[in-house]
Structure 1
Amino acid sequence: MRKLIFCISLLGLILPSKAQQKLSAIAEVKEVTVYANGAQVQNRVLVNLPAGSSDLIINNVASDLDEGNVQISGPDQVSVLSIAKTRAEDVPISNVKYQRLKDSLDLLIADREVVGNKLDAAKGALQILKNDNLLGGGNGKIDVADLSKLVDYYQMKSVNLNRDISSLNKEMGVLDKKIAQMQMDLRTYIGNGGQLKLQLVSNRGGNVTLDIRYMTYAASWQAYYDLKAVSVSAPLKMLYKASVSQNTGVNWQNAKLILSTGNPTMGGTAPVLSTSYAVIRNLDEELFSNLSVQNRAQNKIQSLSAKSIRAEVSMDSKALEEVAIATTSMVENQLSTTFDIEVPYTILSNGQPHSVTLKEFSQPAIYKYYAVPKLDKDAFLMAEITDFQKLNLIPGEANISFENMFVGKSYINPNITTDTLNLSLGRDHGISIKRERIMDQKSTQISGSWKRQIFTYEIKVRNNKSSEVDILLKDQYPISTDKSIEVELLEAKSAQVNAETGIATWTVRLKPNETQTYRISYMVKSPKDKSLAFN
């Protein structure tokens, strides 16, 4: 029996171990497609896989990735058995560049320790030198000649020690900066993000390249523009830019960027209408059905963990949702615009906006001035752009420069139904506008139970510029929504009047230093005991 046990033990020592190996690799960010709220990150992982099964810990991935959306591609001999997001594990990293940096960091830390020891020794020696009790062997008695020698020794030694302490402090500061920079460089390999744990099976050993894609929602981009108009006779220069930010825990080093106007969180297909049926609602049955769902969840609360409760509730809600949308089918993918950035960019994981230039172009524009003196006394320079759909603009803020001067900010909204895009290029104080009400004795008249009020406004427009300008001038009269109130337009000479909106529009052309006057007048008839309000 003892011989049998010995043989079995010996056989266990001789046979090779089939224990699953644990490996580590670093995900290198190669390409990122950034959406308005999220990003798809493509990584490349190089690892030396043994034959058989192994656990691979992949560092430098986003901390908020969803393992359910991870896509992995590799050679045919490698199979992925499972994917899981894990916490940081202390696994040796086999990357050559990482290991070189790690070795250099270890040497710097060792050098810092040596310098620290020298610094402590110098400070200790200086402290001993300042100890008065050591004079005269501790009894305070010392010969004058010996005292002179001691003073000389103290001066020389004190100067040398202070010089050494100052030098060592400087050396320590230099080492601290180098160590901090090297730790930052190491962080580009392992990141501050999460880890992926893959269970792999490989038919044969050797170097393997894996491509990994995943979604993260800790990244975004917004469009903004630089609009420059040299003069009203020159084309409008537009610089299309993007503000990209991310806080995934992983720095995107020299990565290829693709910016997309799509939204990965929304369904990309168009719905199709199906027949709608009118039925009698049974409120009691609906109430009972809702209560039964809540009661089922409540029963689970008494017996299951919080995680199981959330799962059960979500399952019931999903079941109800599926019943509600069962008659809807999806047939057509929606379109989005993508911007393929040719130059690699580095976007740090610090949440700070990084400017990315998309394209620059000159666009023919028609420049006009626009003024609504009822709301604002200034004239605004507007640029009209046709065929703007081909520019693939998206809503965003615009920095505006006119005549080589920054004049302010505006907002571009291309989501309009007209074929002309109007861009506000800011205020122009070279045009003076004054609007005032003209009052006379006939402005208000009362007859019986009625009150008639006449509102007359005079608008003066002056061109103080050295060139001729075209101005689109607008004012309005109120539209009645009450049968007891009557409104009549009395005067709006040379204006185009929209009777449905009450807006009067004058097309004004002013020569340099020319002033023109316009007038709008209307009468409002209303009950004399009622007060009027115009919005």
Structure 2
Amino acid sequence: MKIQKLAFLIVFASSSAFANNNVTLNKVTLFLQGAELQGQSTVSLTKGENEILLTGIANGVKANSINVGFGNDANVKVLSTLFNDNYIDDSEESQEIQSLLEELQKLQEKHDTVEIELKAVSEQVTLLQGNRLDLLVKGANDDLNGMQSALDFIKTNLVTVLNEQNKLQKQLDEIDEQILQCQDKIDKQKASAKNTTNAITVKVYSNKDITLPVTLSYVTNKAGWAPIYDVRVADINSPLQLAYKADIYQNTGLDWQNVDFSLSTSNPSEGVIAPDLVPWYIDIYTQKGGLLKNDGNMSAKKLTVALEDADVYIDDNNDNALTNTSDINTRFEVKLPYTIKSNSNNNILTLQNKEVEAKYHYIAIPKLDSSVYLQAQIVDWDRLNLLPGKSTVFFNGNYIGESFITTKDLKETLDISLGKDKNIFIARNRNVNETSKPSLFGNDISQKYAYTIDVKNAKTLPIDIVVYDQLPIIVNKSVSLDDARYDGATYNKETGELIWEFKLNPSENKNLNLSFKLTYPKDKVNDIIGL
């Protein structure tokens, strides 16, 4: 069996030890939770069974999403794939170990230099000692003066070289000790800091010796994106400018460098099977029996979705992404190669800039809040491919605040709040002239409640405004609601909601009146809830 170690980097990184293996990233598809990474390399296979080790894999890989392919080449078959998130990679030394290795090399070079110097001095010592002494004094012709001079020469030089020899030997011993200490540090570093990484082992069978490209794709849960929006309005007579953005995070452990990039509104972490309904039981609680329990098991049935063959693409020169709505989910194809570093958050990518026709009106709920809010209503909002997300609101070039766009509750219009308008005033006060004190009639108590809502437009433009209030909903039949008056408001009997819709000219005031009478048994006066 042939084992090949391929540095399979999903991004190019100049500092990586795997960067010389000619591996390129094909595509990143980013989901709301998760991302699919696709890459390619070239391998050489021998005839028979081969085992390929792909390293440099992202963190958080879903093992069942791994897909390895060799194109349309029928000579190679994939037998199995195995994901290992604790593979020990010895091909890349840590920076600290590299520094120690460089220090060790310098010590070894110093050791060699001192050792050569020591050998030379030792040779001098040998020359001055032993059997070579007779050669030095033979020329003295048995002259005592000449012999004395020779002895003085030997003594002086021998002392010098012996001191030099001793000095060099101590230096050599010190260097040897430093080498041992440095080697010990390297061994400890390698033992305690083994470089573990993610790897995928692929077993394949090849009909012949062949060199060909291999492609790899898998899904990681360490990346995702969330929709955010910029809402800009110049004035209430201008279209709304909507910037659709993606807030991207990726903690895969790999840098995505100049990749083909797309974002999908799909969420692979969610289930794909529709649930089944089970019987719904209603029982009466008793201290003895408790509540009826449902012991049935929840079952599920598969959901089959039929799609039309036609593809719909939306291309706008102001957009940075091409929108594809041909699938179950919307996909944004980023037009230019994109780079996102690992372990980074708040990478903001603008997907679309749209000019949207909107109807503007003001809303107020004075029972709860004395402020008046500007609201934009968008009719064809379903064509904008929006998802629920935070929005930043700008009006007349000024930052107003943050809001939230939601599409969960299906309505004819998408309502976007644009903040408070301090030039419109509203107040809800009790009308003391119409409000009565509790009155006793037989066994019942009656009381009239009356309120006045005052609205003033201090702007220089006419406005459309909607004011909300409510009448109480009577639950117990022993309580009655009578004589309700609400000055032309629309009344919803099921919810008790009152809605006034009207136009208010510049500097115009309007008064809205609301009143009703409640009657309830006098012996239940302390049991009434809601007053």
Post-superposition offset of 1:499: 2.6
Shift of the 445–68 alpha-carbon distance from structure 1 to 2, 3 Å rule, reads same
TM-score normalized with structure 1 length: 0.66
Equivalent residue letter for 1:214 = Y
Instruction: Describe the SS at the equivalent of 1:352.
Output: strand
Instruction: Describe the SS at the equivalent of 2:382.
Output: helix
Equivalent residue letter for 1:27 = L
Residue 470 of structure 2 is aligned to residue 476 of structure 1? yes
Shift of the 21–195 alpha-carbon distance from structure 1 to 2, 3 Å rule, reads closer
Provide the C-alpha distance between the structure 1 equivalents of 2:421 and 2:348, rounded to a whole number of angstroms.
Answer: 29
Deviation readout 1:208-253 (Å, 9 max, x if unpaired): 2111111222222111110001000000000001112122222222
Q: What residue ranges of structure 1 are gaps of 5+ in the alignment?
A: 1-18, 94-98, 119-190, 279-289, 291-319
Shift of the 446–339 alpha-carbon distance from structure 1 to 2, 3 Å rule, reads same
Post-superposition offset of 1:273: 9.0
Provide the C-alpha distance between the structure 2 equivalents of 1:113 and 1:407, rounded to a whole number of angstroms.
Answer: 64
Residue 40 of structure 2 is aligned to residue 36 of structure 1? no
Pick the aligned partner of 1:332 from 278, 299, 305.
305
1:199 matched residue in structure 2: 203
Pick the aligned partner of 2:508 from 514, 518, 525.
514
Provide the C-alpha distance between the structure 2 equivalents of 1:379 and 1:534, rounded to a whole number of angstroms.
Answer: 26
Shift of the 111–91 alpha-carbon distance from structure 1 to 2, 3 Å rule, reads closer
Provide the C-alpha distance between the structure 1 equivalents of 2:196 and 2:431, rounded to a whole number of angstroms.
Answer: 70
Instruction: Describe the SS at the equivalent of 2:305.
Output: strand
1:246 matched residue in structure 2: 250
Residue 60 of structure 2 is aligned to residue 67 of structure 1? no
Larger radius of gyration: 2
Bigger shift: residues 425-434 or 73-82: 73-82
Provide the C-alpha distance between the structure 2 equivalents of 1:409 and 1:325, rounded to a whole number of angstroms.
Answer: 42
Instruction: Describe the SS at the equivalent of 2:260.
Output: strand
Deviation readout 1:389-439 (Å, 9 max, x if unpaired): 111111111111111111111111112222211111111111111111122
Post-superposition offset of 1:269: 5.6
Equivalent residue letter for 1:451 = I
Q: Does structure 1 retain, via aligned residues, the 8 Å contact 2:3–2:53?
A: no
Q: Does structure 1 retain, via aligned residues, the 8 Å contact 2:88–2:197?
A: no
Aligned Cα RMSD in Å? 3.5
Provide the C-alpha distance between the structure 2 equivalents of 1:113 and 1:517, rounded to a whole number of angstroms.
Answer: 92
Deviation readout 1:81-124 (Å, 9 max, x if unpaired): 3211122333659xxxxx9xx99x9799959997xx99xxxxxx
Post-superposition offset of 1:52: 4.4
Shift of the 194–405 alpha-carbon distance from structure 1 to 2, 3 Å rule, reads same
Q: Does structure 1 retain, via aligned residues, the 8 Å contact 2:275–2:299?
A: no
Equivalent residue letter for 1:357 = T
Shift of the 81–237 alpha-carbon distance from structure 1 to 2, 3 Å rule, reads same
2:438 matched residue in structure 1: 444
Equivalent residue letter for 2:389 = G
Bigger shift: residues 330-339 or 217-226: 330-339
Deviation readout 1:458-510 (Å, 9 max, x if unpaired): 11111121211111111111010110111124321132222332222212322
Q: Does structure 2 retain, via aligned residues, the 8 Å contact 1:193–1:249?
A: no
Q: Does structure 1 retain, via aligned residues, the 8 Å contact 2:443–2:522?
A: yes
1:212 matched residue in structure 2: 216
2:123 matched residue in structure 1: none
2:519 matched residue in structure 1: 525
* Structure (1 or 2) with the greater helix fraction: 1
Provide the C-alpha distance between the structure 2 equivalents of 1:508 and 1:192, rounded to a whole number of angstroms.
Answer: 69
Provide the C-alpha distance between the structure 1 equivalents of 2:272 and 2:245, rounded to a whole number of angstroms.
Answer: 25
Residue 67 of structure 2 is aligned to residue 78 of structure 1? no
Post-superposition offset of 1:514: 2.0
Post-superposition offset of 1:452: 1.1
Instruction: Describe the SS at the equivalent of 2:87.
Output: coil
Bigger shift: residues 380-389 or 500-509: 500-509
Shift of the 489–40 alpha-carbon distance from structure 1 to 2, 3 Å rule, reads farther
Equivalent residue letter for 1:263 = N
Displacement over 4 Å in runs of 4+: 105-114, 269-274
Q: Does structure 1 retain, via aligned residues, the 8 Å contact 2:276–2:299?
A: no
Provide the C-alpha distance between the structure 1 equivalents of 2:243 and 2:404, rounded to a whole number of angstroms.
Answer: 14
Identity of aligned residues (%): 30
Provide the C-alpha distance between the structure 1 equivalents of 2:265 and 2:4, rounded to a whole number of angstroms.
Answer: 41
Shift of the 453–272 alpha-carbon distance from structure 1 to 2, 3 Å rule, reads closer
Provide the C-alpha distance between the structure 2 equivalents of 1:249 and 1:489, rounded to a whole number of angstroms.
Answer: 70
Residue 504 of structure 2 is aligned to residue 505 of structure 1? no
Q: Does structure 1 retain, via aligned residues, the 8 Å contact 2:272–2:303?
A: no
2:338 matched residue in structure 1: 345
Q: Does structure 2 retain, via aligned residues, the 8 Å contact 1:85–1:196?
A: yes
2:233 matched residue in structure 1: 229
2:88 matched residue in structure 1: 89
Q: Does structure 2 retain, via aligned residues, the 8 Å contact 1:33–1:257?
A: yes
Bigger shift: residues 224-233 or 519-528: 519-528
Provide the C-alpha distance between the structure 1 equivalents of 2:451 and 2:91, rounded to a whole number of angstroms.
Answer: 82
Q: Matches of residues 263-342 of structure 1 in structure 2 within 5 Å?
A: 263-268=267-272, 325=299, 328=301, 330-332=303-305, 335-342=328-335
Q: Matches of residues 353-502 of structure 1 in structure 2 within 5 Å?
A: 353-440=346-433, 442-502=436-496
Deviation readout 1:338-391 (Å, 9 max, x if unpaired): 222222222222151311211110110000000010011101101111111111
2:311 matched residue in structure 1: none
Deviation readout 1:149-200 (Å, 9 max, x if unpaired): xxxxxxxxxxxxxxxxxxxxxxxxxxxxxxxxxxxxxxxxxx9951111223
Q: What residue ranges of structure 2 are gaps of 5+ in the alignment?
A: 11-24, 111-194, 282-294, 308-327
Instruction: Describe the SS at the equivalent of 2:335.
Output: coil
Shift of the 345–210 alpha-carbon distance from structure 1 to 2, 3 Å rule, reads same
Q: Does structure 2 retain, via aligned residues, the 8 Å contact 1:229–1:236?
A: yes
